[in-house]
C-alpha cells in the first residue's frame, strides 16, 4: 500500500503531465506554417524592395506585367526635385457602378505580406497562451488578424502615407521655418527693385496731389485723362527733384530691408515689438476667459447629466422593481446618453460655425461651442466613473435610511470627486488650445489674429503668438497640477 507521501508525489506528477498535455507546444504543423509565412513575407517584401531600387533597365521589373517606368518631379517650395522609378499597375473593380474602387498591385502585395505576418503572429501568440487552442481557433485568429492588417495596409496606401516624402522635404521644412537664404544674384535683383522705391513714392504722392486738386471741381471742368497723367508726371518730376541723395538712399535702404524680410519668410526670429505683444496678450487673455467660462458651465451641466445617465444612481433616484420604474430608468439612460453623444458628436469648430451664424461674431459663440462639446465629453466620463464606484458605501447609507440626495452627496460624490477634478482640469487645458483655434471662424480670442497673420504670410508674428500659446498652456498645466494635488 502506498504511503501518503507517494500518493502526493503521484498526484503532482499527474497534474504536471496534464499541464504539459494542455499547454501549447511546437509541432510539425506549426513549424511549417511559420516557415511558409516567413518565406512569403520575405518574398513579397523583397519584391517590393527590389522594384523600388531597380533602374530603368531592370530585367525582373520588365517581366512583371503592367509595371511602367515614370519620370516626374516634386515641387518643394521653389525647387523642382526630379523623381524616377517604377509605377505599379492598378486594377478597377465594379466599374461604372456605385461600388467602383481601384487598387494597385503594390497594395495587393503589401496586403499579402501582412497576411503572412498575421499567420506567424497567430502561431506565436498561440504558443504564449496557457492552454492549447484548437485548429479552428488558430485559423480564426489568423484570419481576423489578416483582415485587420489588410485594412491597415489598404488605408496606408489610400491615405498616401509617404515617410520617404517627409524625408525628401526636410530641406524645404527647414527653409520654411528658418527662412530662405539668398545668393548674390538674388540680392542684386532685390536691390534693383528697392532702387525703384523713390519713383514709386513720388508717383503715389503725385497721384494724391492731382486727385486732391480736382476733388471738388465739377466733372465738366476737369481736364482730360491724358492731361491729368501729364500733370502727374510733371508733379512726380518735381518731387524727385526735391529729394536729397540722403533721402533717396534712406528710402532705398528701408525698401531693401522690407523686401529682404518679405522674401526671406520663415518663422524665426519672432516678432517682439512691445505694441504687438500687448495686442497678442490681450487676445490670449480673451482666449483663456473663453476656456474658463466654457469649462465651468460644462462641469455644472455634466455632473447632473451623469447622474441621470448612470444606472446605479438612477436606482437611487427612481427605486423600485416594477415595470414602470425599470422603464423610467432605461428611458433616462438612453435619452441622456444619446444627448451627450450628440453634444460631443461634432467638433468644436463645427459648433462654433453654427453659433457664429446664429448669434454673430464674438467670444460668446466660442463659449457656447466649447460648453456644448465639453458637456458631452465630461458627462460620459463622469457617468462611467459613477457606475464603477464601490456599491458597499451606497448600500451602507441606504441601509441606515438615508434619502436619495444624502446617499449621492455622501456615498457617490466623494468617490468620484478625484475623477471629476482631474478630468475637469484636463478639459480646461484642452479648451484653452481649442479656444485658440475657434477664432479662425470668428468666435473670438487669439485665433482671429492667427488666421489674419497666416493669410497675410506674417509668419514671424504667427511664431510669436504660437510661443505665447505654448507658454500659457505650460503655465496652466503647472498650476492645474498643483490644484489637482491639493484635492486628490
Across residues 299-321, what is the average pLDDT? 87
Mark whether 298 and 399 lie in a shared domain. yes
- pLDDT attached to residue 351: 87
Chosen domain end from 149, 172, 195:
172
> In this model, does residue 482 exceed pLDDT 50?
yes
Residue 163 to residue 117: CA distance in whole angstroms: 21
Residue 64 to residue 69: CA distance in whole angstroms: 12
Q: Which grid coordinates belong to 382?
A: 463622469
Closest CA to 453 of 190, 228, 199, 270: 270
Across residues 117-142, what is the average pLDDT? 85
Pick the most confident of 144-158, 212-226, 313-327.
144-158
Closest CA to 386 of 462, 327, 314: 314
Name the more confident of 458 and 122. 122
User: Tens of pLDDT along 423-449?
Assistant: 999 999 889 988 888 888 888 788 888
Owner of C-alpha cell 484570419: 143
- pLDDT attached to residue 442: 80
How far, CA to CA in Å, does 334 sit from each of 27, 303, 306, 373? 51, 17, 12, 19
- pLDDT attached to residue 19: 43
State which residues form the domain around 478: 274-487
Give me the phi and psi of 297, to 5 degrees please. Answer: -65, -35
348 found inside a domain:
yes
Q: What is the CATH number of the domain that holds 303?
A: 1.10.3720.10
Largest CA distance in the chain: 139
Mark whether 381 and 250 lie in a shared domain. no
How far, CA to CA in Å, does 266 sit from each of 76, 198, 276, 453? 15, 28, 18, 13
Mark whether 315 and 437 lie in a shared domain. yes
Mark whether 109 and 163 lie in a shared domain. yes
> In this model, does residue 2 exceed pLDDT 50?
no
- pLDDT attached to residue 20: 47
- pLDDT attached to residue 5: 60
Average pLDDT, the chain: 83
- pLDDT attached to residue 13: 46
**Total number of domains in the chain:** 3
Chosen domain end from 244, 264, 284:
264
Mark whether 148 and 19 lie in a shared domain. yes
SS3 assignment, position 134:
coil
Mark whether 406 and 440 lie in a shared domain. yes
- pLDDT attached to residue 54: 85
178 found inside a domain:
no
Residue 340 to residue 322: CA distance in whole angstroms: 27
> In this model, does residue 199 exceed pLDDT 90?
no
Render the burial of 311-327: b for 16+ CB within 10 Å, e for the rest: eebbbbbbeeeeeeeee
pLDDT bucket at 16, cuts 50 / 70 / 90:
very low
Q: Do residues 366 and 445 make contact, with C-beta atoms less than 8 angstroms apart?
A: yes
Owner of C-alpha cell 463659449: 367
- pLDDT attached to residue 264: 72
Mark whether 318 and 444 lie in a shared domain. yes
Amino acid at each position: 500500500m502506498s504511503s501518503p507521501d507517494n500518493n502526493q508525489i503521484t498526484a503532482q506528477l499527474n497534474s504536471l503531465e496534464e499541464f504539459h498535455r494542455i499547454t501549447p507546444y511546437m509541432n510539425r504543423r506549426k513549424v511549417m506554417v511559420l516557415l511558409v509565412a516567413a518565406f512569403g513575407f520575405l518574398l513579397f517584401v523583397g519584391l517590393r524592395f527590389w522594384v523600388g531600387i531597380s533602374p530603368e533597365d531592370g530585367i525582373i521589373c520588365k517581366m512583371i506585367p503592367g509595371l511602367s517606368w515614370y519620370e516626374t518631379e516634386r515641387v518643394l517650395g521653389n525647387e523642382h526635385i526630379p523623381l524616377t522609378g517604377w509605377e505599379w499597375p492598378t486594377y478597377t473593380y465594379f466599374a461604372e457602378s456605385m461600388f467602383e474602387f481601384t487598387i494597385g498591385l503594390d497594395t495587393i502585395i503589401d496586403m499579402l505580406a501582412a497576411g503572412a505576418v498575421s499567420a506567424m503572429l497567430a502561431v506565436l501568440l498561440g504558443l504564449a497562451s496557457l492552454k492549447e487552442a484548437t485548429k479552428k481557433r488558430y485559423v480564426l485568429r489568423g484570419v481576423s488578424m489578416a483582415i485587420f492588417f489588410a485594412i491597415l495596409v489598404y488605408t496606408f496606401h489610400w491615405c498616401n502615407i509617404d515617410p520617404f516624402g517627409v524625408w525628401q522635404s526636410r530641406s524645404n521644412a527647414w527653409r520654411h521655418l528658418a527662412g530662405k537664404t539668398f545668393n548674390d544674384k538674388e540680392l542684386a535683383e532685390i536691390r534693383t527693385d528697392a532702387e525703384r522705391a523713390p519713383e514709386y513714392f513720388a508717383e503715389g504722392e503725385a497721384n494724391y496731389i492731382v486727385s486732391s486738386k480736382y476733388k471738388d471741381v465739377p466733372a465738366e471742368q476737369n481736364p482730360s485723362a491724358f492731361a491729368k497723367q501729364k500733370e502727374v508726371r510733371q508733379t512726380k518730376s518735381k518731387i524727385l527733384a526735391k529729394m536729397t541723395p540722403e533721402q533717396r538712399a534712406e528710402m532705398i535702404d528701408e525698401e531693401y530691408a522690407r523686401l529682404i524680410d518679405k522674401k526671406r519668410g520663415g518663422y524665426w526670429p519672432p516678432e517682439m515689438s512691445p505694441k504687438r505683444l500687448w495686442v497678442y496678450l490681450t487676445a490670449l487673455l480673451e482666449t483663456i476667459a473663453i476656456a474658463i467660462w466654457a469649462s465651468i458651465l460644462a462641469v455644472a451641466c455634466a455632473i447632473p447629466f451623469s447622474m441621470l445617465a448612470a444606472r446605479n444612481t438612477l436606482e437611487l433616484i427612481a427605486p423600485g422593481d416594477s415595470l414602470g420604474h425599470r422603464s423610467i430608468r432605461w428611458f433616462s439612460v438612453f435619452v441622456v446618453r444619446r444627448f451627450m453623444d450628440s453634444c460631443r458628436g461634432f467638433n468644436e469648430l463645427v459648433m462654433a460655425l453654427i453659433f457664429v451664424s446664429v448669434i454673430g461674431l464674438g467670444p460668446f459663440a466660442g463659449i457656447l461651442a466649447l460648453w456644448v462639446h465639453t458637456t458631452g465629453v465630461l458627462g460620459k466620463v463622469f457617468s462611467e466613473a459613477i457606475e464603477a464606484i464601490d456599491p458597499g458605501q451606497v448600500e451602507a447609507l441606504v441601509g441606515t435610511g438615508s434619502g436619495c440626495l444624502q446617499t449621492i452627496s455622501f456615498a457617490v460624490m466623494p468617490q468620484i470627486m478625484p475623477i471629476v477634478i482631474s478630468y475637469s482640469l484636463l478639459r480646461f487645458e484642452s479648451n484653452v488650445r481649442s479656444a485658440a483655434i475657434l477664432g479662425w471662424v470668428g468666435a473670438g480670442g487669439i485665433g482671429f489674429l492667427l488666421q489674419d497673420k497666416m493669410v497675410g504670410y506674417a509668419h514671424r508674428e504667427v511664431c510669436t503668438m504660437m510661443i505665447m500659446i505654448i507658454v500659457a498652456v505650460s503655465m496652466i498645466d503647472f498650476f492645474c497640477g498643483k490644484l489637482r494635488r491639493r484635492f486628490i
